Amino acid sequence: MGGMVVRLVAAVGLAALCFLGCAISSCDGQPDYRAALANSLLYFEGQRSGKLPPDQRVQWRGDSALADGRDHGVDLTGGYYDSGDNVKFGLPMAFTVTMLAWGAVEYARPLALAGELRHALGAVRWGADYLARAHTADETLYVQVGEGDSDHNCWQRPEDMDTLRTAYSVDASRPGSDVAAETAAALAAAAVAFRRLDRGYSAMLLQHAVQLFRFAENHRGLYHNSVPDAAKFYPSSGDEDELIWAAVWLFIATGGAEYKAFILGDGNASGVQSALSWDNKFLGAQALVAKLILDGKLPDAGNPAAMKRSLEQFLCDIAQHGGAADAKLSPGGMLWTQPWNNLQFVTSAAFVAAAHADHLAAARSSLQCAAAATLPPPQLLAFARSQADYILGANPGGMSYMVGYGDRYPARVHHRGASVPSIKYSPGKITCKGGFDYFSRSSPNPNVLVGAIVGGPDGNDRYNDSRGDFQQTEPSTVTVAPIVGVLARLLHNRGVLDAPPF
């Protein structure tokens, strides 16, 4: 453990290490959710772009991309790098902010009790500030900074970037209703998260969300057709999911009749989903609608009822109570969806399961599955716990897939900044091609990207700790954002939370 402590001190500084000792992984062999929660929020500081704030805890990072947006005369500094590269992609970033905000709304009390609410809201705000700045006019939204191909052809820490930082936008003539609606959802969710703590800020975010939803409704079209560079990296499969997702968040934020009417409209139910992801938000919308039905704010009829039934079938499937529709699990019990970054689907499914378990418990209800099987809230929460525990080391490999947690975790994460010496300790410029020398080394990364969750093992629980295996070793903000809420919930040992979140 001593070696790990030294590496963590270098990575995050002494102030962030209040969870050392038995807290790194609990002394009784059970996962230490408080330590994992603290780590997960540190990760977002490692992904920051722009001018870093005075309270930055991840000390191996420095300021980066300070001229973003200058080519268009706008300020596009800030926000998050999405994964192991240095491009800012608007669609996954907005989804990241939405899930972070949902976790902060749903689990504000356990986050506060863990001393992490301030950090969770700071993570939301860092992303929401950028998204609001990117919305430069009623019908103009910047949705990408940087060029994917030129960035991926280099292996540079963000502080050294000399690749193109082209800014791309959507507008009335070049629509992007999917990314506009997702950004509306993110800002509406963030507005809900802040409405009791900073009303002025919340109102500003909500104003942007309302305008963006109107823009998305009035100018339909997939954003990657307007920004072809995005099509190679984050293509969108449709905009219907983002529109209903945004409408639900705006209804939660405002109670507006127009958003309720959108939810009640025909054709938005979408059927049973297989995952919640940056490209498919139907499941998230279904979970929120089910909560609103249980609270009596939406009718258990028509489109809302269909959405609720679809959510329930998904939850029965992943909990292995769906009959022939049971979701696939690895031999070690991990929810299995696809080889590339499978853990993104694990964390989002765990979040939905945990949240709906609490919604059912508050309503004194249970889930009814196939063959009249009853799935009570504790059993649904147990599924979420099993997936979090798998990530934290309860798996056949005995490895934590959260970097910096436990005694054994991925050491060769596919991440430019983490794999190249920190600019704080090696200030000489590392060139575009020169960085590949560090990429090809077999030694562990010099910087520990605390809290990152890698793509994860394959369907047979096998993991290859190699920088070149990006499908398994690259972390992403969309993977970590949902687990913040899951870990906060697992710290709360009572069956029902004290107060409804909205």
Cross-strand bridge partners of residue 289: none
The region that residue 285 occupies, defined by phi over 0 for left and psi between -120 and 50 for alpha, beta otherwise, is alpha
Side chain identity at 421, as an amino acid letter? P
Instruction: For 40, list phi and psi in degrees, rounded to 5.
Output: -60, -35
Other CB atoms within 10 A of residue 74 CB? 17
Per-state percent for the chain, helix, strand, coil, to nearest 5: 50, 5, 45
Q: Tokens 């309503």 label which residue?
A: 363
To the query of whether residue 119 is one of the catalytic residues in this protein, the response is: no
HSE-CB at 56 with a 13 A cutoff on CA atoms is 19
192/404 Cα distance (integer angstroms) = 31
SS3 (DSSP) at 375 = strand
Q: Are 63 and 52 contacting, i.e. CB atoms less than 8 angstroms apart?
A: yes
Q: Which of the residues 119, 224, 356, 414 is marked catalytic?
A: 414
Residues 297-316 as b or e (16 or more Cβ within 10 Å = b): ebeeeebbbbbbbbbbbbbb
**To 10 degrees, the CA torsion angle through 77, 485, 106, 116?**
-70
Cross-strand bridge partners of residue 453: 402
Detail the DSSP E strand segments found in 88-197: 88-89, 140-145, 167-171
Closest CA to 87 of 147, 129, 131, 135: 147
Instruction: For 472, list phi and psi in degrees, rounded to 5.
Output: -100, -30
Q: Are 419 and 445 contacting, i.e. CB atoms less than 8 angstroms apart?
A: yes
**To 10 degrees, the CA torsion angle through 7, 11, 13, 18?**
-70
Side chain identity at 87, as an amino acid letter? V
Give 242-263 as a DSSP string.
HHHHHHHHHHHHH--HHHHHHH
Active site residues: 414
